[in-house]
Amino acid sequence: MGGRQATTLLTKVTWWTAGIFLCSCRNRRTRFAPSSKARGRRRHQSHRRSCRLKRNPRLLRRPRQHAHPAIAGPNRAPAYVLLEDGAWFPGTAPLPFEPAYAEVVFTTNLSGYQEVFTDPSYLGQIVVMTAPMIGNYGINPEDVESDRPRVAGVVVRELSATPSNWRATGTLLDWLSGAAVPLVADVDTRQLTRYIRSRGAMRGVLALGEKPTDAITAALAASPSMNGLDLASVATIPDAYSEGPAPGDAAHHVVAFDYGMKRNILRLFVQKGCRVTVVPARATAGEVRALKPDGVFLSNGPGDPAAVGYAIDTIRQLADGTVPIFGICLGHQLLGLAMGGETVKLPYGHRGGNHPVRDLATGQVLITSQNHGFAVRGETSGVPGAKSLEVTHLNLNDGTVEGIRHREYPIFAVQYHPEASPGPHDAQGHFQQFLQALDTK
């Protein structure tokens, strides 16, 4: 063996021996003695960290949380999302569930999933979350918009295995399963969203299995469509109730029709000193007038507005100028129909917290929270069939009507959600606009 070969072999043996020594040191958790410069640097870093912790104790690490066994376990059951046109998207089920049939829609909200799932406007819909991870901050009792989850099902890309938040009292999975709401995870939600966006919202089903069966496909074909579906009568309350200051102490008395009203609407009215009497969707004009309101509010809600004929008739009787009226979402659509307009179903709807809307009077652009699948037919010139209405707001994405106002009476409505929850607060001024109308009545 030549001298060069011997030197090369010796070098390899030396590095191999050193590697074994380092691995054994690591296994025994031994460490080499650091240099004086390294010791000084570590002391400096430790001092800086202790100072930060004194200024902000929240920086202390929270104890590691264990993943939900159903989420972290390797034995997730296969599941899928099947659409009525035959397209299907595979996923997994963290927990077993019965098949759920409903309209499949998507929302672009990055957070606020608890408010989304408890919004009664989502009744009868399977919601696809476009955000890549859902459930990371758990569930708490404060951020709900109704008494329980109202969605028919949830589809996510990734379900957080370790939710963590100082307000959290439970996990999203346990909360949904306790309400018998199915969840399908590990779905390519980007592909599914793009599919719905290009072909429109349609009926679908969440089911367990490797692939769709003939029985599931047949049941999906027989499930009801959102067109012509009155869900306001399902989402409403059975009896009237009141909240806010006592009658003698309240700044105003507002009667609110509950077609599926979110709790934050009620909170905002009460915060502004109003006493609110919430009435069922089928309350008559005579019953409302007997309550002697200073103003009438038409709430959000689910379903096809054209199918809620009883509410349209009531609004038409109340819209005589004797009392100010303010509507949002479904209430906006019902007001348009009551004044002689028409509503149309949007291809895939507006759902999310980043929809731009232009105020035609001021030119101001509002970033709004929206959740609707129908819209009032109209344009900048007005609403066809409703000469008494003028268009006040337009959507900058597709040009649809986002706000209407009566030309003579203090009656107006917007298609979006000024109360947000979740979403931006750009449009909360509409509540103040309504209260000003009550002051000048």
Give φ, ψ of 36 to 5 degrees: -60, -35
329 part of the active site: yes
Strands 77-83 and 88-93: antiparallel
**What is the C-alpha to C-alpha distance for residues 256 and 276, in angstroms, rounded to an integer?**
7
- The one catalytic residue among 103, 274, 329, 350: 329
**What is the C-alpha to C-alpha distance for residues 90 and 428, in angstroms, rounded to an integer?**
40
Whether the CB-CB separation of 78 and 104 falls below 8 Å is answered with no
**What is the C-alpha to C-alpha distance for residues 26 and 18, in angstroms, rounded to an integer?**
12
- The one catalytic residue among 372, 393, 406, 417: 417
Structure-block tokens of residue 279: 């009435």
419 part of the active site: yes
Enter the DSSP assignment of 67.
Answer: P
Which stretch of DSSP H or E encloses residue 174?
A: helix 172-178
Whether the CB-CB separation of 423 and 110 falls below 8 Å is answered with no
25 part of the active site: no
**What is the C-alpha to C-alpha distance for residues 397 and 395, in angstroms, rounded to an integer?**
6
Triad 212, 218, 220: Cα angle to 5°: 80
- The one catalytic residue among 145, 390, 402, 419: 419
Q: So which residues are the catalytic ones?
A: 329, 417, 419
